[in-house]
Amino acid sequence: MKAVASMLVLALSSAAALQLPQTPASSVRRRSPPPSLNEAMTKDRIEKMIADNKVLLFMKGDKIQPQCGFSNTAVMILKAVTESAGCDFQTFNVLADNDVREGIKKHSNWPTIPQCYIDGEFVGGCDLLIEMYQNGELAEMVEKAAAS
């Protein structure tokens, strides 16, 4: 019995000797998990859509049937400025693809939908489109994009 007790003490003391020193939680660096393959593919899709369209609106619904008031307002503004510039705009219905819905928010670092891109540049949401429409900035951007 004494031999078993001695072996147990030896095993416990060896295990204690192998323990790592305690590190305060505040000094431990936590890595964020790598983006999933799906997130990377979604990011690529979003970037391609933006690059392939001079004027693109990520919205709820589509330009024929907007599904929220903010998207409807954005569509009406873009129709007005693109018609006067002699070009058209494209839309993407985020309600049909939740990966894009969440991915576009990360891409732009903007929390709401709709989101407008002109010539590859994030312009903003409904409130900024209204402001830029009223001061003429939006028409200038669309005309420049249409000419390029």
Residue 83 covered by a domain: yes
The domain that holds 99 is classified in CATH as 3.40.30.10
> What is residue 52's predicted lDDT score, i.e. its pLDDT?
96
Q: Provide the whole-model pTM.
A: 0.75
Give the model confidence (pLDDT) of 96-114 as tens digits: 999 999 999 999 999 999 9
Spell out the residues 6+ positions from residue 113 whose beta carbon is closer than 8 angstroms to its own.
58, 59, 60, 68, 70, 71, 94, 101, 104, 105, 125
Q: What is the mean pLDDT of residues 33-60?
A: 90
The label of the residue with tokens 């593919």 reads 41
> Which tokens go with 1?
């019995």
Give the model confidence (pLDDT) of 111-136 as tens digits: 999 999 999 999 999 999 999 999 99
Residue 33 covered by a domain: no
Residue 142 covered by a domain: yes
Residue 22's pLDDT band (cuts 50, 70, 90) = low
